[in-house]
Chain A
Protein backbone atom coordinates (compact mmCIF):
# COMPACT_ATOMS: atom_id res chain seq x y z
CA UNK A 1 0.00 0.00 0.00
CA UNK A 2 1.39 3.37 -1.11
CA UNK A 3 0.31 5.11 2.08
CA UNK A 4 1.68 2.51 4.52
CA UNK A 5 4.71 4.59 5.34
CA UNK A 6 2.63 7.68 6.12
CA UNK A 7 0.34 5.61 8.35
CA UNK A 8 3.23 3.92 10.14
CA UNK A 9 5.11 7.16 10.75
CA UNK A 10 1.99 8.91 12.02
CA UNK A 11 1.21 5.97 14.28
CA UNK A 12 4.44 6.51 16.20
CA UNK A 13 4.89 10.26 15.69
CA UNK A 14 4.49 10.76 19.42
CA UNK A 15 6.24 7.62 20.64
CA UNK A 16 5.50 8.02 24.33
CA UNK A 17 1.80 8.60 23.73
CA UNK A 18 1.55 5.72 21.26
CA UNK A 19 3.37 3.32 23.59
CA UNK A 20 1.30 4.35 26.61
CA UNK A 21 -1.92 3.93 24.63
CA UNK A 22 -0.84 0.52 23.34
CA UNK A 23 0.13 -0.55 26.86
CA UNK A 24 -3.20 0.61 28.24
CA UNK A 25 -5.05 -1.32 25.54
CA UNK A 26 -2.83 -4.35 26.10
CA UNK A 27 -3.56 -4.39 29.84
CA UNK A 28 -7.30 -4.06 29.31
CA UNK A 29 -7.44 -6.68 26.58
CA UNK A 30 -5.32 -9.02 28.69
CA UNK A 31 -7.92 -8.58 31.41
CA UNK A 32 -10.85 -9.08 29.03
CA UNK A 33 -9.23 -12.14 27.39
CA UNK A 34 -8.64 -13.64 30.84
CA UNK A 35 -12.24 -13.06 31.91
CA UNK A 36 -13.54 -14.56 28.67
CA UNK A 37 -11.19 -17.51 29.07
CA UNK A 38 -12.57 -18.12 32.57
CA UNK A 39 -16.12 -17.94 31.19
CA UNK A 40 -15.10 -20.38 28.43
CA UNK A 41 -13.68 -22.62 31.07
CA UNK A 42 -16.98 -22.61 32.97
CA UNK A 43 -18.89 -23.14 29.74
CA UNK A 44 -16.71 -26.13 28.86
CA UNK A 45 -17.24 -27.50 32.35
CA UNK A 46 -21.01 -27.14 31.90
CA UNK A 47 -20.87 -28.84 28.51
CA UNK A 48 -18.66 -31.68 29.68
CA UNK A 49 -21.45 -34.24 29.45
CA UNK A 50 -22.90 -32.99 26.19
CA UNK A 51 -24.24 -35.89 24.12
CA UNK A 52 -23.78 -38.36 26.95
CA UNK A 53 -27.55 -38.59 27.66
CA UNK A 54 -27.10 -38.41 31.40
CA UNK A 55 -29.37 -37.11 34.11
CA UNK A 56 -28.19 -36.19 37.57
CA UNK A 57 -30.47 -36.84 40.52
CA UNK A 58 -29.77 -34.92 43.72
CA UNK A 59 -31.69 -34.02 46.85
CA UNK A 60 -34.41 -31.45 46.22
CA UNK A 61 -33.26 -29.65 49.37
CA UNK A 62 -29.64 -29.11 48.38
CA UNK A 63 -26.61 -30.85 46.98
CA UNK A 64 -25.26 -31.17 50.50
CA UNK A 65 -28.21 -33.40 51.51
CA UNK A 66 -27.78 -37.07 50.69
CA UNK A 67 -30.21 -39.51 49.09
CA UNK A 68 -30.82 -43.11 50.15
CA UNK A 69 -29.42 -45.93 48.00
CA UNK A 70 -32.95 -47.32 47.82
CA UNK A 71 -33.88 -44.65 45.28
CA UNK A 72 -31.49 -46.18 42.77
CA UNK A 73 -33.45 -49.38 42.12
CA UNK A 74 -36.63 -47.42 41.51
CA UNK A 75 -34.89 -45.05 39.11
CA UNK A 76 -33.29 -47.92 37.22
CA UNK A 77 -36.71 -49.51 36.72
CA UNK A 78 -38.07 -46.53 34.78
CA UNK A 79 -38.45 -47.44 31.10
CA UNK A 80 -35.80 -45.77 28.97
CA UNK A 81 -33.15 -45.78 31.70
CA UNK A 82 -30.09 -47.76 30.59
CA UNK A 83 -28.31 -47.82 33.93
CA UNK A 84 -27.49 -45.71 36.99
CA UNK A 85 -24.39 -45.07 39.07
CA UNK A 86 -23.87 -43.54 42.49
CA UNK A 87 -21.39 -40.69 42.52
CA UNK A 88 -20.11 -38.85 45.56
CA UNK A 89 -18.09 -35.65 45.43
CA UNK A 90 -15.29 -36.05 47.98
CA UNK A 91 -13.61 -32.64 47.88
CA UNK A 92 -10.19 -33.86 49.07
CA UNK A 93 -6.86 -32.38 47.94
CA UNK A 94 -3.39 -33.68 47.26
CA UNK A 95 -0.65 -32.71 49.76
CA UNK A 96 -1.53 -28.98 49.80
CA UNK A 97 -4.80 -27.16 49.48
CA UNK A 98 -3.51 -25.49 46.33
CA UNK A 99 -3.50 -28.96 44.72
CA UNK A 100 -7.23 -29.08 44.44
CA UNK A 101 -9.09 -31.08 41.77
CA UNK A 102 -12.34 -32.98 41.41
CA UNK A 103 -12.33 -36.39 43.11
CA UNK A 104 -15.27 -38.75 43.28
CA UNK A 105 -16.30 -42.09 44.70
CA UNK A 106 -18.18 -43.99 41.99
CA UNK A 107 -19.77 -47.38 41.36
CA UNK A 108 -16.87 -48.92 39.48
CA UNK A 109 -18.97 -51.65 37.83
CA UNK A 110 -21.33 -49.01 36.39
CA UNK A 111 -18.58 -46.65 35.26
CA UNK A 112 -18.20 -48.02 31.69
CA UNK A 113 -21.93 -47.89 30.95
CA UNK A 114 -22.94 -44.64 32.64
CA UNK A 115 -19.72 -42.74 31.89
CA UNK A 116 -19.09 -44.22 28.47
CA UNK A 117 -17.67 -40.92 27.15
CA UNK A 118 -14.70 -41.35 29.52
CA UNK A 119 -12.33 -43.45 27.43
CA UNK A 120 -10.43 -46.08 29.40
CA UNK A 121 -8.36 -48.99 28.04
CA UNK A 122 -9.75 -52.44 28.93
CA UNK A 123 -6.61 -53.24 30.94
CA UNK A 124 -6.83 -50.04 32.99
CA UNK A 125 -10.55 -50.49 33.53
CA UNK A 126 -10.07 -54.09 34.73
CA UNK A 127 -7.27 -53.04 37.09
CA UNK A 128 -9.39 -50.14 38.44
CA UNK A 129 -12.39 -52.36 39.04
CA UNK A 130 -10.29 -55.06 40.70
CA UNK A 131 -8.68 -52.82 43.34
CA UNK A 132 -10.81 -51.60 46.25
CA UNK A 133 -8.44 -48.60 46.57
CA UNK A 134 -7.73 -48.22 42.89
CA UNK A 135 -7.94 -44.83 41.19
CA UNK A 136 -8.70 -43.79 37.65
CA UNK A 137 -7.06 -40.47 36.89
CA UNK A 138 -7.54 -37.92 34.10
CA UNK A 139 -4.66 -37.56 31.66
CA UNK A 140 -3.93 -33.90 32.41
CA UNK A 141 -3.86 -34.51 36.16
CA UNK A 142 -1.34 -37.31 35.62
CA UNK A 143 0.86 -34.85 33.74
CA UNK A 144 0.38 -32.08 36.29
CA UNK A 145 1.66 -34.16 39.19
CA UNK A 146 3.94 -36.35 37.05
CA UNK A 147 2.14 -39.42 38.33
CA UNK A 148 2.50 -42.87 36.81
CA UNK A 149 0.20 -45.84 36.82
CA UNK A 150 1.07 -47.80 39.94
CA UNK A 151 1.88 -44.72 42.04
CA UNK A 152 0.33 -44.54 45.50
CA UNK A 153 -1.24 -41.23 46.43
CA UNK A 154 -2.98 -39.99 49.54
CA UNK A 155 -5.64 -37.32 49.36
CA UNK A 156 -6.30 -35.06 52.35
CA UNK A 157 -9.75 -34.79 53.83
CA UNK A 158 -11.88 -31.65 53.72
CA UNK A 159 -15.50 -32.81 53.93
CA UNK A 160 -15.61 -36.48 54.86
CA UNK A 161 -13.64 -37.89 57.81
CA UNK A 162 -11.12 -39.96 55.90
CA UNK A 163 -7.99 -39.49 53.77
CA UNK A 164 -8.36 -41.58 50.61
CA UNK A 165 -5.21 -43.69 50.13
CA UNK A 166 -5.24 -44.73 46.51
CA UNK A 167 -3.17 -46.60 43.96
CA UNK A 168 -3.39 -45.28 40.42
CA UNK A 169 -4.59 -48.19 38.32
CA UNK A 170 -5.29 -46.43 35.09
CA UNK A 171 -5.98 -43.25 33.20
CA UNK A 172 -9.00 -42.02 31.31
CA UNK A 173 -9.31 -39.59 28.43
CA UNK A 174 -12.11 -37.09 28.23
CA UNK A 175 -12.16 -33.99 25.98
CA UNK A 176 -13.13 -31.65 28.85
CA UNK A 177 -12.95 -33.36 32.23
CA UNK A 178 -9.25 -34.11 32.20
CA UNK A 179 -8.31 -33.55 35.82
CA UNK A 180 -10.56 -35.75 37.94
CA UNK A 181 -9.90 -38.79 40.11
CA UNK A 182 -12.41 -41.62 40.46
CA UNK A 183 -12.15 -44.32 43.08
CA UNK A 184 -14.52 -47.10 44.25
CA UNK A 185 -17.70 -46.22 46.13
CA UNK A 186 -17.14 -49.31 48.25
CA UNK A 187 -13.93 -47.83 49.71
CA UNK A 188 -15.73 -44.58 50.52
CA UNK A 189 -18.61 -46.42 52.22
CA UNK A 190 -16.35 -48.55 54.38
CA UNK A 191 -14.01 -45.75 55.31
CA UNK A 192 -16.73 -43.38 56.35
CA UNK A 193 -19.19 -45.86 57.80
CA UNK A 194 -21.69 -44.50 55.34
CA UNK A 195 -25.23 -45.54 56.16
CA UNK A 196 -26.35 -46.14 52.58
CA UNK A 197 -26.62 -42.59 51.41
CA UNK A 198 -25.03 -40.76 48.50
CA UNK A 199 -24.95 -37.27 47.00
CA UNK A 200 -26.04 -38.02 43.44
CA UNK A 201 -27.30 -40.71 41.14
CA UNK A 202 -26.18 -40.44 37.54
CA UNK A 203 -28.73 -41.85 35.16
CA UNK A 204 -27.88 -43.02 31.65
CA UNK A 205 -30.86 -42.58 29.32
CA UNK A 206 -31.24 -44.42 26.03
CA UNK A 207 -32.98 -41.72 24.00
CA UNK A 208 -32.18 -38.02 24.54
CA UNK A 209 -35.80 -37.18 23.61
CA UNK A 210 -36.91 -39.04 26.74
CA UNK A 211 -34.68 -37.09 29.13
CA UNK A 212 -37.28 -34.51 30.06
CA UNK A 213 -40.01 -37.05 30.73
CA UNK A 214 -37.72 -39.38 32.69
CA UNK A 215 -36.52 -36.41 34.71
CA UNK A 216 -40.14 -35.55 35.59
CA UNK A 217 -40.95 -39.17 36.41
CA UNK A 218 -38.02 -39.44 38.83
CA UNK A 219 -38.96 -36.26 40.72
CA UNK A 220 -42.65 -37.24 40.74
CA UNK A 221 -41.75 -40.67 42.12
CA UNK A 222 -40.03 -39.22 45.21
CA UNK A 223 -42.09 -36.07 45.62
CA UNK A 224 -43.85 -37.24 48.75
CA UNK A 225 -40.98 -39.27 50.20
CA UNK A 226 -38.67 -38.21 53.03
CA UNK A 227 -36.01 -37.67 50.40
CA UNK A 228 -37.52 -35.70 47.50
CA UNK A 229 -35.30 -35.36 44.46
CA UNK A 230 -34.49 -32.80 41.86
CA UNK A 231 -33.31 -34.11 38.53
CA UNK A 232 -31.26 -32.16 36.03
CA UNK A 233 -29.58 -32.77 32.77
CA UNK A 234 -25.84 -32.94 33.28
CA UNK A 235 -25.44 -29.48 31.76
CA UNK A 236 -28.03 -27.98 34.12
CA UNK A 237 -26.38 -29.72 37.03
CA UNK A 238 -22.96 -28.32 36.18
CA UNK A 239 -24.45 -24.87 35.63
CA UNK A 240 -26.16 -25.05 39.02
CA UNK A 241 -22.87 -26.07 40.53
CA UNK A 242 -21.22 -23.02 38.96
CA UNK A 243 -24.09 -20.75 39.93
CA UNK A 244 -23.35 -21.44 43.57
CA UNK A 245 -20.67 -18.81 43.02
CA UNK A 246 -23.28 -16.31 41.87
CA UNK A 247 -24.08 -15.15 38.37
CA UNK A 248 -20.52 -15.19 37.22
CA UNK A 249 -21.35 -14.94 33.54
CA UNK A 250 -23.30 -11.74 34.06
CA UNK A 251 -20.65 -10.32 36.34
CA UNK A 252 -17.76 -11.13 34.01
CA UNK A 253 -19.63 -9.89 30.95
CA UNK A 254 -20.50 -6.65 32.74
CA UNK A 255 -16.91 -6.13 33.88
CA UNK A 256 -15.56 -6.87 30.38
CA UNK A 257 -18.06 -4.47 28.81
CA UNK A 258 -17.15 -1.73 31.29
CA UNK A 259 -13.45 -2.30 30.58
CA UNK A 260 -14.04 -1.99 26.84
CA UNK A 261 -16.19 1.13 27.25
CA UNK A 262 -13.47 2.66 29.40
CA UNK A 263 -10.82 1.91 26.81
CA UNK A 264 -13.02 3.39 24.07
CA UNK A 265 -13.19 6.67 25.99
CA UNK A 266 -9.47 6.73 26.71
CA UNK A 267 -8.60 5.85 23.13
CA UNK A 268 -11.02 8.50 21.89
CA UNK A 269 -9.18 11.16 23.91
CA UNK A 270 -5.83 10.05 22.50
CA UNK A 271 -7.12 9.93 18.95
CA UNK A 272 -8.88 13.28 19.23
CA UNK A 273 -5.59 14.82 20.42
CA UNK A 274 -3.71 13.14 17.61
CA UNK A 275 -6.21 14.38 14.98
CA UNK A 276 -6.31 17.87 16.45
CA UNK A 277 -2.58 18.41 16.37
CA UNK A 278 -2.51 17.40 12.69
CA UNK A 279 -5.19 19.76 11.44
CA UNK A 280 -2.79 21.75 9.24
CA UNK A 281 -1.14 18.64 7.85
CA UNK A 282 -4.51 17.18 6.95
CA UNK A 283 -5.44 20.44 5.24
CA UNK A 284 -2.19 20.29 3.27
CA UNK A 285 -2.89 16.71 2.22
CA UNK A 286 -6.34 17.73 1.03
CA UNK A 287 -4.95 20.80 -0.72
CA UNK A 288 -2.52 18.71 -2.77
CA UNK A 289 -5.34 16.42 -3.84
CA UNK A 290 -6.04 13.80 -1.16
CA UNK A 291 -9.78 13.21 -1.25
CA UNK A 292 -11.85 13.28 1.93
CA UNK A 293 -12.43 9.51 1.77
CA UNK A 294 -8.72 8.81 1.40
CA UNK A 295 -7.82 11.03 4.37
CA UNK A 296 -10.55 9.32 6.42
CA UNK A 297 -9.28 5.86 5.41
CA UNK A 298 -5.67 6.74 6.25
CA UNK A 299 -6.59 8.13 9.68
CA UNK A 300 -8.96 5.30 10.54
CA UNK A 301 -6.39 2.71 9.48
CA UNK A 302 -3.89 4.37 11.77
CA UNK A 303 -6.28 4.44 14.73
CA UNK A 304 -7.45 0.87 14.18
CA UNK A 305 -3.84 -0.30 13.90
CA UNK A 306 -3.09 1.33 17.23
CA UNK A 307 -5.93 -0.44 19.03
CA UNK A 308 -5.32 -3.70 17.17
CA UNK A 309 -1.67 -3.73 18.26
CA UNK A 310 -2.73 -3.15 21.88
CA UNK A 311 -5.48 -5.75 21.60
CA UNK A 312 -3.12 -8.29 20.05
CA UNK A 313 -0.44 -7.79 22.71
CA UNK A 314 -3.01 -8.13 25.50
CA UNK A 315 -5.03 -11.06 24.21
CA UNK A 316 -2.13 -13.03 22.71
CA UNK A 317 -0.13 -12.21 25.84
CA UNK A 318 -2.86 -13.89 27.89
CA UNK A 319 -2.93 -16.78 25.40
CA UNK A 320 0.79 -17.46 25.73
CA UNK A 321 0.84 -16.82 29.47
CA UNK A 322 -1.82 -19.45 30.13
CA UNK A 323 0.03 -21.87 27.88
CA UNK A 324 3.14 -21.35 29.96
CA UNK A 325 1.74 -21.32 33.49
CA UNK A 326 -0.40 -23.83 35.34
CA UNK A 327 -3.58 -21.89 36.06
CA UNK A 328 -4.97 -24.91 37.92
CA UNK A 329 -2.16 -24.65 40.45
CA UNK A 330 -2.40 -20.87 40.68
CA UNK A 331 -6.13 -21.03 41.37
CA UNK A 332 -5.96 -23.96 43.78
CA UNK A 333 -7.52 -26.25 41.23
CA UNK A 334 -10.45 -23.94 40.56
CA UNK A 335 -9.56 -23.31 36.94
CA UNK A 336 -8.24 -26.36 35.19
CA UNK A 337 -6.90 -26.10 31.65
CA UNK A 338 -7.48 -22.38 31.48
CA UNK A 339 -6.67 -21.14 28.02
CA UNK A 340 -7.39 -18.25 25.70
CA UNK A 341 -8.71 -20.11 22.69
CA UNK A 342 -9.16 -19.07 19.06
CA UNK A 343 -12.74 -17.93 19.63
CA UNK A 344 -11.72 -15.63 22.50
CA UNK A 345 -8.77 -14.29 20.50
CA UNK A 346 -11.12 -13.55 17.61
CA UNK A 347 -13.58 -11.78 19.93
CA UNK A 348 -10.77 -9.71 21.49
CA UNK A 349 -9.29 -8.73 18.13
CA UNK A 350 -12.73 -7.83 16.77
CA UNK A 351 -13.34 -5.74 19.91
CA UNK A 352 -9.95 -4.04 19.50
CA UNK A 353 -10.77 -3.14 15.88
CA UNK A 354 -14.19 -1.96 17.07
CA UNK A 355 -12.57 0.24 19.71
CA UNK A 356 -10.38 1.83 17.03
CA UNK A 357 -13.34 2.36 14.76
CA UNK A 358 -15.60 3.85 17.44
CA UNK A 359 -12.95 5.87 19.27
CA UNK A 360 -11.23 7.08 16.10
CA UNK A 361 -14.31 7.41 13.91
CA UNK A 362 -15.43 10.82 15.04
CA UNK A 363 -12.01 12.53 15.21
CA UNK A 364 -11.07 11.06 11.82
CA UNK A 365 -14.37 12.03 10.24
CA UNK A 366 -14.19 15.52 11.66
CA UNK A 367 -10.61 16.03 10.52
CA UNK A 368 -11.25 14.65 7.05
CA UNK A 369 -14.39 16.76 6.60
CA UNK A 370 -12.62 19.96 7.55
CA UNK A 371 -12.42 22.57 4.82
CA UNK A 372 -8.90 23.07 3.49
CA UNK A 373 -8.94 26.82 4.09
CA UNK A 374 -10.10 26.33 7.68
CA UNK A 375 -7.34 23.80 8.32
CA UNK A 376 -4.66 26.02 6.83
CA UNK A 377 -5.86 28.98 8.88
CA UNK A 378 -5.94 27.02 12.14
CA UNK A 379 -3.10 27.64 14.57
CA UNK A 380 -2.82 24.58 16.79
Chain B
Protein backbone atom coordinates (compact mmCIF):
# COMPACT_ATOMS: atom_id res chain seq x y z
CA UNK B 1 0.00 0.00 0.00
CA UNK B 2 1.58 3.33 -1.01
CA UNK B 3 1.88 6.23 1.37
CA UNK B 4 -0.54 9.10 0.90
CA UNK B 5 0.52 11.28 3.83
CA UNK B 6 4.17 11.35 4.84
CA UNK B 7 5.03 13.45 7.88
CA UNK B 8 8.70 13.75 8.79
CA UNK B 9 9.93 15.01 12.13
CA UNK B 10 7.31 17.77 12.30
CA UNK B 11 7.46 20.33 15.05
CA UNK B 12 4.86 22.95 15.72
CA UNK B 13 5.27 25.81 18.14
CA UNK B 14 2.53 28.39 18.71
CA UNK B 15 3.46 31.87 19.75
CA UNK B 16 1.14 33.39 22.30
CA UNK B 17 2.28 36.93 23.01
CA UNK B 18 5.76 36.54 24.51
CA UNK B 19 5.38 32.81 25.11
CA UNK B 20 6.18 29.91 22.86
CA UNK B 21 3.96 26.89 23.27
CA UNK B 22 5.32 23.69 21.71
CA UNK B 23 2.46 21.50 20.48
CA UNK B 24 4.17 18.90 18.30
CA UNK B 25 7.68 17.79 19.15
CA UNK B 26 9.03 15.89 16.19
CA UNK B 27 6.22 13.72 14.89
CA UNK B 28 6.92 11.25 12.10
CA UNK B 29 4.00 9.45 10.58
CA UNK B 30 2.99 7.74 7.38
CA UNK B 31 -0.66 7.31 6.37
CA UNK B 32 -1.12 4.76 3.61
CA UNK B 33 -3.62 5.40 0.82
CA UNK B 34 -6.99 3.92 1.79
CA UNK B 35 -6.24 4.04 5.52
CA UNK B 36 -8.79 4.97 8.17
CA UNK B 37 -6.72 6.42 10.97
CA UNK B 38 -7.96 7.61 14.34
CA UNK B 39 -5.88 10.09 16.33
CA UNK B 40 -6.48 9.98 20.06
CA UNK B 41 -4.98 11.63 23.05
CA UNK B 42 -5.72 14.04 25.88
CA UNK B 43 -6.62 17.67 25.27
CA UNK B 44 -3.59 19.66 24.22
CA UNK B 45 -1.73 16.61 23.00
CA UNK B 46 -1.56 17.99 19.44
CA UNK B 47 -4.11 15.77 17.62
CA UNK B 48 -6.02 18.60 15.96
CA UNK B 49 -2.79 20.42 15.15
CA UNK B 50 -1.46 17.30 13.43
CA UNK B 51 -4.74 16.95 11.51
CA UNK B 52 -4.63 20.63 10.48
CA UNK B 53 -1.05 20.27 9.26
CA UNK B 54 -1.79 17.29 7.04
CA UNK B 55 -4.92 19.07 5.74
CA UNK B 56 -2.87 22.12 4.77
CA UNK B 57 -4.67 24.67 6.94
CA UNK B 58 -1.67 25.19 9.19
CA UNK B 59 2.09 25.14 8.66
CA UNK B 60 4.74 23.26 10.61
CA UNK B 61 7.45 25.17 12.44
CA UNK B 62 9.94 22.51 11.30
CA UNK B 63 9.87 19.26 9.37
CA UNK B 64 8.15 18.33 6.15
CA UNK B 65 4.74 17.09 5.11
CA UNK B 66 4.15 15.28 1.84
CA UNK B 67 0.66 14.46 0.65
CA UNK B 68 0.28 12.39 -2.48
CA UNK B 69 3.93 13.08 -3.28
CA UNK B 70 3.70 16.85 -2.93
CA UNK B 71 5.48 18.74 -0.17
CA UNK B 72 2.58 20.89 1.00
CA UNK B 73 4.63 22.42 3.82
CA UNK B 74 6.41 24.47 1.15
CA UNK B 75 3.25 25.70 -0.58
CA UNK B 76 2.24 29.36 -0.50
CA UNK B 77 -1.16 30.30 0.99
CA UNK B 78 -2.67 30.56 -2.49
CA UNK B 79 -1.21 27.22 -3.57
CA UNK B 80 -2.47 25.62 -0.37
CA UNK B 81 -6.00 26.97 -0.90
CA UNK B 82 -6.06 25.64 -4.44
CA UNK B 83 -4.61 22.31 -3.32
CA UNK B 84 -7.14 21.93 -0.49
CA UNK B 85 -10.04 22.57 -2.87
CA UNK B 86 -8.97 19.57 -4.95
CA UNK B 87 -7.48 17.19 -2.44
CA UNK B 88 -8.99 17.61 1.03
CA UNK B 89 -12.50 17.16 2.41
CA UNK B 90 -13.20 18.59 5.87
CA UNK B 91 -15.61 17.28 8.47
CA UNK B 92 -15.92 19.40 11.62
CA UNK B 93 -17.32 18.69 15.06
CA UNK B 94 -19.86 21.53 14.79
CA UNK B 95 -20.68 20.68 11.14
CA UNK B 96 -19.95 24.32 10.14
CA UNK B 97 -22.53 24.54 7.40
CA UNK B 98 -23.27 27.99 5.98
CA UNK B 99 -26.62 28.84 7.58
CA UNK B 100 -27.89 31.01 4.71
CA UNK B 101 -27.45 28.22 2.17
CA UNK B 102 -29.61 25.11 1.91
CA UNK B 103 -28.19 21.58 1.91
CA UNK B 104 -27.76 21.51 -1.86
CA UNK B 105 -26.01 24.89 -1.91
CA UNK B 106 -23.75 23.96 1.02
CA UNK B 107 -22.63 20.80 -0.76
CA UNK B 108 -22.20 22.72 -4.00
CA UNK B 109 -19.81 25.29 -2.39
CA UNK B 110 -16.50 23.44 -3.06
CA UNK B 111 -17.63 22.79 -6.64
CA UNK B 112 -17.97 26.54 -7.26
CA UNK B 113 -14.18 26.62 -7.28
CA UNK B 114 -14.02 24.13 -10.14
CA UNK B 115 -14.70 24.58 -13.85
CA UNK B 116 -17.70 22.25 -13.78
CA UNK B 117 -20.86 23.43 -15.51
CA UNK B 118 -24.02 24.07 -13.52
CA UNK B 119 -25.47 20.79 -14.77
CA UNK B 120 -22.36 18.85 -13.80
CA UNK B 121 -22.32 20.49 -10.38
CA UNK B 122 -25.94 19.53 -9.85
CA UNK B 123 -25.19 15.91 -10.73
CA UNK B 124 -22.22 15.79 -8.33
CA UNK B 125 -24.24 17.36 -5.50
CA UNK B 126 -27.14 14.95 -5.93
CA UNK B 127 -24.71 12.03 -5.99
CA UNK B 128 -23.02 13.20 -2.76
CA UNK B 129 -26.33 13.82 -1.02
CA UNK B 130 -27.48 10.40 -2.21
CA UNK B 131 -24.44 8.70 -0.67
CA UNK B 132 -25.17 10.28 2.74
CA UNK B 133 -28.88 9.45 2.40
CA UNK B 134 -30.18 12.99 2.24
CA UNK B 135 -31.28 13.21 -1.37
CA UNK B 136 -34.75 14.27 -0.23
CA UNK B 137 -33.49 17.09 2.01
CA UNK B 138 -31.52 19.05 -0.53
CA UNK B 139 -33.67 22.17 -0.17
CA UNK B 140 -33.62 22.18 3.63
CA UNK B 141 -31.60 24.85 5.41
CA UNK B 142 -29.28 23.81 8.28
CA UNK B 143 -31.77 25.11 10.88
CA UNK B 144 -34.36 22.72 9.42
CA UNK B 145 -32.11 19.67 9.87
CA UNK B 146 -31.21 17.59 12.94
CA UNK B 147 -27.60 17.50 14.17
CA UNK B 148 -27.05 14.10 12.54
CA UNK B 149 -28.48 15.32 9.25
CA UNK B 150 -26.34 18.45 9.39
CA UNK B 151 -23.24 16.31 9.87
CA UNK B 152 -24.23 14.15 6.92
CA UNK B 153 -24.62 17.27 4.76
CA UNK B 154 -21.15 18.30 5.95
CA UNK B 155 -19.83 14.87 4.92
CA UNK B 156 -21.50 15.26 1.52
CA UNK B 157 -19.76 18.64 1.18
CA UNK B 158 -16.47 16.99 2.11
CA UNK B 159 -16.75 14.21 -0.49
CA UNK B 160 -18.40 16.09 -3.36
CA UNK B 161 -15.09 16.96 -5.02
CA UNK B 162 -13.88 13.36 -4.61
CA UNK B 163 -10.88 14.44 -2.50
CA UNK B 164 -7.73 12.43 -1.94
CA UNK B 165 -7.93 12.82 1.84
CA UNK B 166 -10.82 13.21 4.28
CA UNK B 167 -10.04 14.83 7.63
CA UNK B 168 -12.56 14.70 10.43
CA UNK B 169 -12.12 16.59 13.68
CA UNK B 170 -14.31 15.05 16.38
CA UNK B 171 -17.06 14.25 13.84
CA UNK B 172 -19.26 12.65 16.49
CA UNK B 173 -18.43 15.05 19.30
CA UNK B 174 -21.69 16.96 19.08
CA UNK B 175 -23.97 14.03 18.24
CA UNK B 176 -26.11 11.69 20.31
CA UNK B 177 -25.21 8.00 20.31
CA UNK B 178 -27.56 7.04 17.47
CA UNK B 179 -26.43 9.80 15.15
CA UNK B 180 -22.82 9.20 16.11
CA UNK B 181 -23.19 5.55 15.05
CA UNK B 182 -24.76 6.56 11.75
CA UNK B 183 -21.98 9.05 11.08
CA UNK B 184 -19.30 6.48 11.84
CA UNK B 185 -21.11 3.95 9.65
CA UNK B 186 -20.98 6.47 6.86
CA UNK B 187 -17.27 7.19 7.33
CA UNK B 188 -16.54 3.49 7.41
CA UNK B 189 -18.52 3.02 4.21
CA UNK B 190 -16.63 5.83 2.51
CA UNK B 191 -13.37 4.17 3.48
CA UNK B 192 -14.45 0.67 2.52
CA UNK B 193 -16.65 1.17 -0.51
CA UNK B 194 -15.09 4.30 -1.96
CA UNK B 195 -11.50 3.74 -0.80
CA UNK B 196 -11.32 7.14 0.85
CA UNK B 197 -8.34 7.81 3.08
CA UNK B 198 -9.67 9.17 6.34
CA UNK B 199 -7.87 10.70 9.30
CA UNK B 200 -10.15 11.27 12.26
CA UNK B 201 -9.44 13.00 15.56
CA UNK B 202 -11.58 11.69 18.38
CA UNK B 203 -11.83 11.42 22.14
CA UNK B 204 -14.26 8.58 21.89
CA UNK B 205 -12.70 5.07 22.05
CA UNK B 206 -15.84 3.62 20.43
CA UNK B 207 -15.39 5.94 17.49
CA UNK B 208 -11.69 5.07 17.29
CA UNK B 209 -12.58 1.37 17.12
CA UNK B 210 -14.26 2.03 13.78
CA UNK B 211 -10.91 3.09 12.31
CA UNK B 212 -8.40 0.61 10.89
CA UNK B 213 -5.80 1.82 13.33
CA UNK B 214 -5.44 4.29 16.16
CA UNK B 215 -2.50 6.49 17.05
CA UNK B 216 -2.12 8.04 20.47
CA UNK B 217 -0.45 11.36 21.04
CA UNK B 218 0.79 12.74 24.30
CA UNK B 219 2.59 16.02 24.82
CA UNK B 220 3.15 16.39 21.12
CA UNK B 221 4.62 12.97 20.50
CA UNK B 222 3.21 9.76 19.05
CA UNK B 223 3.30 7.24 21.85
CA UNK B 224 1.29 4.28 20.68
CA UNK B 225 -0.11 2.69 17.58
CA UNK B 226 -2.96 0.23 17.77
CA UNK B 227 -4.30 -1.84 14.91
CA UNK B 228 -8.03 -2.30 15.31
CA UNK B 229 -8.65 -5.99 15.44
CA UNK B 230 -12.15 -6.22 14.16
CA UNK B 231 -13.80 -3.71 11.93
CA UNK B 232 -17.52 -3.64 12.32
Contacts and interface: CB of A to CB of B under 8 A. Distances in A.
Interface of A: 2-3, 5-6, 9-10, 13, 280-281, 284-292, 371-373, 376
A9 B96 contact: no
> Size class of B's contact patch?
20 to 34
Contact of A2 (B58, B81, B82, B112): B112
Contacts of B36: none
A373 B94 CA distance: 14
B82 A289 contact: yes
B96 A5 contact: no
B84 interface: yes
A373 B109 CA distance: 20
A287 B84 contact: yes
Interface in B75-111: 77-78, 81-82, 84-86, 90, 92, 94, 96, 98-101, 105, 109-110
Contacts of A285: 98, 109
A291 B98 contact: no
B84 A288 contact: yes
A373 B58 contact: yes
B101 A284 contact: no
B145 interface: no
30 contacts: A2-B112, A3-B112, A6-B98, A6-B109, A13-B99, A280-B94, A281-B98, A281-B99, A284-B90, A284-B92, A285-B98, A286-B57, A287-B55, A287-B84, A288-B109, A288-B110, A288-B113, A289-B81, A289-B82, A289-B85, A289-B86, A290-B81, A291-B81, A292-B77, A292-B78, A292-B81, A372-B52, A372-B57, A376-B92, A376-B96
B101 A5 contact: yes
Contacts of A281: 96, 98-99
B143 to A, nearest CB: 12
Nearest to A278: B98
Contacts of B124: none
B108 to A, nearest CB: 9
A289 B157 CA distance: 12
A18 to B, nearest CB: 12
A12 to B, nearest CB: 8
A318 to B, nearest CB: 32
A290 B92 CA distance: 17
B105 A5 contact: yes
If over half of A's interface residues share one DSSP class (helix, strand or loop), that class is named, otherwise mixed; here it is helix
Interface string B118-138: 000000000000000000000
Interface of B: 52, 55, 57-58, 77-78, 81-82, 84-86, 90, 92, 94, 96, 98-101, 105, 109-110, 112-113, 157
A289 B181 CA distance: 29
Contacts of B110: 288-289
Contacts of A287: 55, 57, 84, 90
Contacts of A9: 100-101
Contact of B101 (A6, A290, A376): A6
B90 A288 contact: yes
A26 B84 CA distance: 42
Nearest to A281: B98
Contacts of A291: 77-78, 81-82
Given A13-B99, A285-B109, A289-B84, 6 more contacts: A3-B112, A9-B100, A288-B110, A289-B85, A289-B86, A291-B82
A13 B157 CA distance: 21
Nearest to A2: B112
A281 to B, nearest CB: 6
B69 to A, nearest CB: 19
A378 to B, nearest CB: 12
A3 to B, nearest CB: 6
B98 A284 contact: yes
Given A2-B112, A281-B96, A288 B85 contact: yes
Given A284-B92, A289-B82, A289-B86, A373 B52 contact: yes
Nearest to A292: B77
Contacts of A288: 84-85, 90, 109-110, 113, 157
Contacts of A292: 77-78, 81
A282 to B, nearest CB: 10
